[in-house]
Every structure is written in structure tokens, then in C-alpha cells.
Structure 1
Amino acid sequence: MHVRCDYLARLLYLMPFLTGLVACSQTGRESSTKPNIVILYTDDQRFNTIHALGNEEISTPNIDQLMTEGTTFTRAHTMGGESGALCVPSRAMLNTGRYINSLASYGAVIPSRHTMMPELLKELGYKTFATGKWHNDRNSFVRSFTDGDNIFFGGMHMPDVGGHERPWLYHFDSTGKYPPEAKWQGNGFSSNYFADAAVEFIQKQQDVDQPFYCYVAFSSPHDPRTPPKEFAEYYKSREVTLPENFMLEPLFDNGELKVRDELLLPTPRPPDLVQRELALYYGMISEVDAQIGRIIKTLKETEQWENTILVYAGDNGLAVGSHGLLGKQNLYEHSMRVPLIMAGPGVPENQKSDALCYLSDIFPTICDLLSVEKPNTVEAKSLASIFRNPEADFRDEIYYLYRDFQRGVRTADNWKLIKYHVRGQETTQLFNLNNDPDELINLADHPAFTNQLNELTQRLKNQMAFYGDKLNIDKSNWGKRIPVARKINQKHLAVGKKIHLTSPPSSKYDGEEPDALINGKAGLLENFTYLWQGFEGNDLEAVIDLGKSTTVNKISAGFLQNTSSWIFLPQHVEFAISTNGQSYEVVADLKHTTSEEDLEPAIEDFSQKIDSKQARYIRVKAKNLGTCPNWHQGAGQKAWMFADEIVVE
């Protein structure tokens, strides 16, 4: 059943974009002066949420019109991620032109050694402006932009502090400090603030003899899905069709069924609630579409459209009921494929390309369109060859990953393989997307497709090697990476003893065993759902009862740092011993030696030798950082602290 559209309302809605409409051509707009660059980036918008690409239930007139004025890439992808926040690596890929395994800390921090698109454009004389969401470290933002406004540092507008309706934002700070007290709360919808900032900036640039780069990163349609009234009322949930691959619940455990996104609705998924979420999701997208129309209208009214390269893209997709899932922490098409349209000088109009491409390809494409050499840190491929020849070969396959338990590959002829290894259970899916675009028919165990299975398995291995993926899917222990930073001493006295925690860990990261901190098993470097105990904003205080007074020579405790997942080392760790459980002697108060801005995940051992002291009780206190630091994309939000093993020797 299709959503009813009022013709006059739709025409009025489309008017902002139609203002200044220029004629289409097959060669693209040409310019004799250095063109402006505008990036319009949406958050959690999957590829099949555009009316002109076949979704008859959604209204996106401005994006539809943009398709007639540029080239649409129908098989654009993100690459996945090493944490649930897929938007972090996707934004780093866009801004650096690098592939996921080459990003520092999987994109949480973009180091100065990786040249970013706005940095290059600054060197070329561009004024660089940003508004909207920045979900990477703040230092990379500061060195990239010379101007901006209505800036949101973070992942999402949390509903308990205002949501999209009252977003917390910053004005541009030329000092680059952005202190918490400078944050201010708006009184209008988030994407409206971001479009306002872009419109005002473009208007001011009308008579300025300097090219500009305008980066507009909408935080919509990311949840909370609360579109303004006129867009919420546009879609009736009972009239929105469930996707063909809707399922009441997932077919199997993909390793990430407890992540926040998947807990937004109960399981099994009530169909009526999924329809409601889809209606709200469509409302959010139509609202963003209207803001996109405002920005393009301004470019045309100020006579800058003809000399502007515009890129519209999404950072990652979203399930919203498909395959029984809600989030994007999976490798299905609805989560990995994203919208991508480019328009402007040198870009053919009203064309589509089915080239397999990544978000990383945008940066080198801009370099080609500007006739400048791409920086040597840029790894991706330019799409300009497709502008010159739409039939040109581009990629034979693409690869994706999610954490260390999902890997996938898709070929240019539309075959796809996904492999999982979750808690010792291996699952393989093989799809022929030519006749099964919704990924419903798993051919992996069908004898007739053994050759395709073997071929795609080898192609996946080749792609993993090419992109620097160190995981070995031939080994049965992938999904549980072997720790590289510490070993457990065989004389571990606390194994099998009693442990008491003053405050329990998060139920999502409880180590899977009540005695996970003293079970003799080391926590793993990157699979932090296994063995680690996670504390969100809280300190750790643990008391181990050895059962009797014992000679103790050494105490150590391991902690994880993974800044892309908001996991930080403790500020300090205190060890104390007691013979009676009442009076304690502090034997160590240690600080970590790893920089909090270190770019790679790490395990650090806090360790202290003591002189053969008698003790029955061992007390360990670890001080949580509390909130993510100012440089981090989650600044001000609760920080995680992960502990694995308290070793007593």
C-alpha cells in the first residue's frame, strides 16, 4: 500500500529546489574558475530510501531532482566498523580517502599524518566551513575548518537531554578549544539549524572572490526518530509496507543482538511497531530532503550553483525491521549500501552508475575534478573515470567487516558471501543478489552452488589480504582474538576464590561469567563482549577473598583502551591488602602509561611487586575517567572502563 500524496503540497515542497533550475546535459556543468565544494551527509540513511530509485512510499523530491542534475552511484557502500558506531569510520573514510583497516583507531582519531579533504582545500586557497555532526576527534576538526556554526560534537542527540528538537551545539571557536561551558541548547529541529548555518554561509560567499568548501553533516535520520509534526503526519504507519525481508526475529545470533540499536523494540519484532518506526524514519528523511532543497535553492539564487561540485551521501544504512534487525551492525545490503550522488562541473547529468564504490572514493574524485594530485595518504580510487566512460571497469568486488566476527564480500556480478563466527558457532550465507536482492535465500549449503561458495570464500580472503585485514577465517578461533598484551601466570592465586564487586558491571558487558575478573582467562584485545567486564561511567572496586592468609608477591590488573568504542584506561588503579578484611594497607597507586589520545586499541597491565606480604583479602580500586574527554567525539558522555583479570601471585 502506498502513502497518499497531496499534489499541491508536494509541489510546494519541491519549490525550493526548482528555484533556479538549470537545463540538464550529458556532459555536466563546466567552469573556468575554481569550483566550490559542498558535501551533504546524512546519518543512518539506507540506499533504498529515495523515491526516484524505486521507493514509491517515500517523498524525496529534492534528492530526486538532484539525480537529474548529476550522476547517481547505485552501488555505493561503507565498509563496516570495529564497533557499533559505524558512522565513526565512515566519516573518517570520507574525509581521508582511506580504507577502514588503514584508519587510526578505526576513525575515532584522525591523526595529522593523514591529510583530510578540507586540509587539502585550505592549502589550495579554499575557505572551509562546517556545520552539523562531527563524530571523530575534535583536533581533526580544528585543523580542518576556518569557519563554521551550529556544530554538534557527538554521535546522536540523546532524547533525555533534548533530542533533535533541542540539540546541544557550538558556535565556531577560532581558538579550537570548544569548552563545555560554550555549548548551547537550541530550540528547533537539528537539521534546520544545520541548513540555516549552511544557507547563511553560502549567502555571505556570494560576492567573495574565494572558493569555499561547505561540509553539512546532518544528524538525521538517526534516532531518536522524532520528525517535525508536518513530516510525522505525512506518513501513516498502517499504510507503510513492511520490507520484503522483514522478519519477526533474526535467524541466528550474529554476535551483536544486544547492542543499543537492537534494543529499541522488543523481540520478536511486533509488525505494527516496525511500521511505526518506518513511518517515522521516512518522515525524518523527507525533513532532511527539505533542508537539502533549501541549501541548493540558495546556491542557485546566489548564482553559485553553476560553479559548485555537490556531493550528497549517507554514512551507513539501517535495518529497521529487515532480517529481524533494527540497527546497522551487520553486513546486509540495507546496512552497508548508502546513497551517493555527485553533481557539478565535470560531472555528467542524469546518469546512473552501478560501479562498486566506497565512501572513501569521494576524496580522490574531488581531487580529479579539481585537477590536483591526491595526497599520498589517500588510498581510494577516483570515480572520474566513470564520468568519462560510464562503462569503465572499476572494482570487481568489495569487502566489508564488522568487529572480529563478521566478514563479507560482494562481487560486481552480484554474488555475496557473509561469514560469521560467534561464540564458537560458524555461520555462512551465500546470496545471488540478481534474483534475491533482499538476501532471503541462503545458498551456502546447496550442493549446486559449491563452486560459487568456494570462489567467493577465496575472493573474500584475497580482499581481506588486500585491505590489510589480519583476521584468519580459516582458523576456528576467529571471533575470539588471542590477547597480545599479557599472559596469565600459572601461579595465579585468585582463580576459584570469591570476589565481591561494590558496583556490578554493565549487564551488556558482564564478562559472561560471574568471576570473570579472576577466572584465569585473559581478556581479548578487540572482542570486548567476551571476558571483559565493562563499567559505564562507574568506578571499579573489587575485593578478593583468598580463603586464608597467604604470601603475596605481586598484584596486577588488566584494562582495555579502545577509544573508538568510548573505552578508556582508568585514571589510576589502587592495590591494597588485608589480613582481616577490615583494615587495608595500600601497596600501590598506579597511573597508566598509555596516552589517552593513543591511536590504537591496547591492553595495559597495572602491576606491582610487593615483598612477600601476608594477605587474605586483595582490594582493587580503579578510577573511571567518568566522561569522554574534550578531544573525543563523545565528549561529555559517559566513558567506559573495561577490566579483564586481577592476577594475584
Structure 2
Amino acid sequence: MKQQFLKMFVLSLVFTVSGICQTTTQKNVKSQNPNILFIAVDDLRPELNFYGANHIKSPNLDKLAGESLIFERAYCNVPVCGASRASLMTGARPTRNRFIDAHVKKDEDYPEAISLPLLLKQNGYQTISNGKIYHYGNDDAKAWDEIWQSSRRWRYAFEENFELRQKTGRGLPVEIADVHDSIYMDGKLALKVITDLQKLKQSNQPFFLTMGVAKPHLPFNAPKKYWDLYDRNEIELPESYVQPETTPKQAFHNFGELRQYEKIPKKGDLPEELAKELIHGYYACVSYIDAQIGLVLDELKRLNLDENTIVILWGDHGWNLGDHKLWCKHINFETALRTPLIIKVPGKTTGQKTDAITEYIDIYPTLAELAGLKSPNSVEGKSFVPIINGQKSDKNWAVSKFKDGVTLIKDQLFYTEWTDDAGVAYARMLFDHKTDPLEIDNLAEKPSYKNTVEALSKELREKWGEDFLK
């Protein structure tokens, strides 16, 4: 009897030790595969405190930036949402026939590419798409364990404004409603992401959890308390509120996206009062989404998931708030190309800043490397993990494209060509940010810059991608 009891005790001890070892192994495996919280913000320009601005109230983004690596010279590869997102998620450059406009689908433009979420899913990650990640919610469906989007009904709080949108296609460009944050889409999004975090806390799988924030995209709708943070009398039009004759006409557009909204004139400059109302609304929306992102980051910390979770936040492109008398994106000025990009890597980032030129196609190989994975051959970007590790970047250029316009960013020079299907340029502009950060004085046609233009034109073709003209 004693021998049998002893035998059972030993077996029990073996199973217990085995279970402890197995649990420890699982924890070790998970610690080697960090979670990723992937926050994509629509139309967010780098007009934030940690980029030198001091008028937009965004305490949660400021706090996250203080724990992150801040990229001061990050650029989207194409300044329009659908194309920018597809390019980023595949790590592939836009070409003349790939990733063209807002209505791009990754599955149609580059179906053979293994996207970032698909790579992670294939390697044991739980992948959840919340909100706007691709332009279309069902795009790249095989990459996700779950896809969730809030009803578009909640773009507006007032029923009459929603009905107006249904009738006109766009509706009013602003709405001020004294309602709870959760009435609008991004408030509902925050609650969904928080619920996901609580569920994922119980899982042994690493996760790739996304938060696709809708604002500050038009319409500029946010709860009244965020509008009340700003005094419209203190809002001014941008210093670059001009369109010099030396700049090619191809550089400008009629901001058709905004023109579709009610009470917006169909042509010409906006009345100053209306322009300031739109800027006010943009600021209010940034403060609103800041609060929603803050709720998610607080829950991440409360659950003790922050210690093993990479947090990356990016805006899909820049946005014009009257810069060059333009609104929206869809252009090759820096205001549409430069973007906010910050990444928090536990144990490595503490609010450092880098002026290394970074492209959005670099995000894919970076996150793959941090997850211990090799990027597929279709990825054209370059990992910026060395920068995270404190090393100096050896890359000093980026290429961005919108339709016929292709821009080479080289050190402080911004060179753009508008080209035909054969790659022949029919218009050019060149700005030197050392002396002209607002991009007012086009140098491309000045005789003294002829050699510079020829060298940049050649380099542009070397760097815009092997498949660019295909």
C-alpha cells in the first residue's frame, strides 16, 4: 500500500513538474513573439506636440510618444488612403498600374503578395482587424481571424444629418453634438478593442490587434466637449496660403473630396470663416480620437499586456488644412506626404527621436523582424530595427507617388516629376527645405539647378522600383 502510494506520489510529482516546464516553455515562446497593437489613423497630419506644434490637445498621443521612437521624417508611399494602406500592408511600392487611388483592394492589385497580417497569422499570431485598416473591410480576408467594423450610421449623431448624407452622398462637413464619446464610430471602436484585449489576455497566442481610427477624416464630427477645447478666434490660416505661379499647375487640385460636402463652394478659395471652421473641426477630431486611443492604452497597461506589446501608430498620409490653398490629400507637396509615425518597443524606446528618412513600406519588414520572422521576397521596404536599436540609418531617401506625380525625397531636397506611361517627364518641381520648408519657390526650371535636376531625375528612376512602368 505504501509502495503504491509512493508510486502515485512520484507520478503526480512528475506530471506537476512537467506541467510547470510546459507552462514555462509556453511563456518563453510567447515572450519571444511580442504582441502588436497596430493603430492606423485616417488623415492624421504630423501637427502634434511631439512634432513641435503646441496647439492641438492630445495628451494620450503625447504620452505614447514619450515611450516610443518618434520618426520626424516618415513618408507615405502614396497620399491616398486605399492605396497607401495596401502598399504599407504588403510592403510593396506603388507603380503606374498598382495602388493608384482610394478604392484599391489588395486582393485585386497584388493578390499574390503575402500581407503583414497573413504572415503573422501563418506563424501563430491571432489577427483581428478592427475599424478601417484596408479601405474595404473584406479585403485580404484570409489574413484575419476576425474582421469588425462599426456601422457607418454613426458617422453622425443627429438623425437628420445622417439622412442628409443618405440623400446627398456626403452630407455636412462638420457636426457638433453634445453626446457621449461612444455615440460616434471611434468611440465604439475603442470599446471593441478594449473587449478584444480582455479576451486576448487569456490566450497563449501572440496577437496582432488593429485599431483603424476613422477620424480626423471628413466629416469633422466630434462631441462638443472637444470643440470646446479650442477658441476659433485664435485659429489662423497657414503661412503657406498661396499658390505661386512658378509651381506647376499639376501640383494643385480642386479638392474634390471636400467639394462633395454640403455648403462647400464648388470652386474657388473657401471663405475665411468656413476655412477656420474646418480647421477647428479637424483639431476637435484629433482630440476626440486621442481620448479613444488613451482608453485602449490604459486598458493595455491595466491588463499588464504593455510589457510584451509593441505599439505602432501611423497616419495613412498627410492632409492639407489650407496649405497652398488646398484641402485634403492627393498631391505631392510635403503636407500630403509627411506622416506621423511612432513605435513603442518595450525595453527599447523611451521618447527618442530620429530624423532618418523612412518610408511606409519599411513598416512591414520592421514588424516582421521584431516578431522574429523573415519577410517574403515581395517586400520592398527596409527594416528600421537598427534605428530602434540606436544605430544610425544609412538610408537618406524615399519615393512617394500620386498618379502621374512621383517624388524623390533626398536629404533636404524634394524633387517631383509628372510622367507619362513611358516615364517621360512633362512637368517638374524642386524645393530645398533648408531654405524653403513651405515649398513656395520652385527651383526646377532655374538654370543654376539644371545639373541638380538631371541628377535627381536619374536617381528617381533608379529608386522608384523595378516594376514601376509595368
Normalising by structure 1, we get a TM-score of 0.58
Percentage of matched positions with identical amino acids: 27
Counterpart of 2:177?
none
Equivalent pair of 1:39/1:311 in contact (CA under 8 Å): yes
Q: CA RMSD in A?
A: 3.2
Q: Per-residue displacement from partner, 1:215-237 (whole Å, max 9, x unpaired)?
A: 11111110011221111121222
Contact 2:96 2:403 in 1 (8 A): no
Structure 2 match to 1:240? 235
Structure 1 residues 264-303: aligned runs within 5 Å: 265-266=264-265, 267-303=268-304
Provide the rounded CA distance (Å) in 2 between the counterparts of 1:216 and 1:164: 24
CA positional deviation for 1:249 = 9.2
Q: How far apart, CA to CA, are the structure 2 residues paired with 1:35 and 1:359?
A: 21
- Alignment partners' CA distance in 2, 1:195 and 1:245: 36
CA–CA distance in structure 2, aligned partners of residues 392 and 408 of structure 1:
21
Look up the equivalent residue of 2:85 and give its one-letter code: R
Residues 68-111 of structure 1: CA deviation (Å, up to 9, x unaligned): 11101111111226xxxx10111112221111129856442325
Label 1:123 to 1:109 Cα distance change in 2 as closer, same or farther (>3 A): closer
Against the structure 1 CA distance between its residues 116 and 160, is the aligned structure 2 distance closer, same or farther, given a 3 Å change threshold?
A: farther
2:81 corresponds to which of 83, 87, 93:
87
- Matched residue SS, 1:274: helix
How far apart, in 2, do the equivalents of 1:301 and 1:200 lie? 13
Alignment partner of 2:90 out of 96, 114, 120: 96
1:416 to 414, 417, 425: 414
In structure 1, distance between residues paired with 2:114 and 2:128: 17
2:323 match: secondary structure: coil
Where structure 1 has 5 or more consecutive residues not aligned to the other structure, the ranges are 1-30, 169-185, 472-649
Judged with a 3 Å threshold, the aligned counterparts in structure 2 of structure 1 residues 450 and 104 are, in CA distance, closer, same or farther, namely: closer
Which residue does the alignment assign to 2:314? 313
Describe the shift of the 1:353–1:152 C-alpha distance in structure 2 as closer, same or farther (beyond 3 A): farther
Check conservation: 1:44, 1:222, Cα contact below 8 A.
yes
Partner of 1:61: 59
The equivalences for 1:184-333 within 5 A come to 188-247=183-242, 253-254=249-250, 257-261=253-257, 263=259, 265-266=264-265, 267-333=268-334
- The one-letter amino acid of 2:66's match is T
Name whichever of 245-254 and 233-242 sits farther off: 245-254
- How far is 1:139 from its partner? 4.8
* DSSP 3-state at the match of 1:399: strand
Amino acid at match of 1:143: K
What is residue 126 of structure 1 aligned with on the other side?
Answer: 125
Label 1:332 to 1:159 Cα distance change in 2 as closer, same or farther (>3 A): farther
CA distance in 2, matches of 1:444, 1:163: 47
Deviations 1:240-289 (A, max 9, x none): 13222123799663276345225264422323322221111111111111
Residue range with higher mean Cα deviation, 93-102 or 308-317: 93-102
1:45–1:318 Cα contact (<8 Å) kept = yes
**1:461–1:98 Cα change, 3 Å:** closer
* 2:75 aligned to which of 74, 77, 80: 77
Q: Could you list the runs of 5+ residues in structure 2 that have no partner in the other structure?
A: 1-29, 167-180
Asked if the contact 2:78/2:400 (under 8 Å) is kept, the reply is yes
Q: In the alignment, residue 279 of structure 2 is paired with which amino acid?
A: L
Q: Which has the higher contact order (CA 8 A, sep 6+)?
A: 2
Amino acid in structure 2 at the alignment position of 1:373? K
SS in 2 for 1:417: strand
Q: Residues 429 and 344 of structure 1: is their aligned pair in 2 closer, same or farther, counting only changes over 3 Å?
A: same
Q: Secondary structure at the match of 1:365?
A: helix
The letter of the residue matching 2:327 is: L
Give the Cα separation in 2 of the matches to 1:399 and 1:161: 44
The structure with more radius of gyration = 1
Range with bigger deviation, 94-103 or 201-210: 94-103
In terms of fraction of residues, the more strand-rich structure is: 1
1:146 & 1:429 partners in 2: Cα distance?
A: 45
CA contact (8 A) 2:251 2:331 kept: no
What whole-Å deviation, never above 9, does each CA across 1:134-185 have from its counterpart, x for those lacking one? 444555342122124334699x9599998799999xxxxxxxxxxxxxxxxx
Question: Distance in 2 between the 1:54 and 1:166 partners?
Answer: 39
Match in the other structure for 1:387: 388
* Residues matched between the structures, number: 413
Letter in 1 for 2:256: R
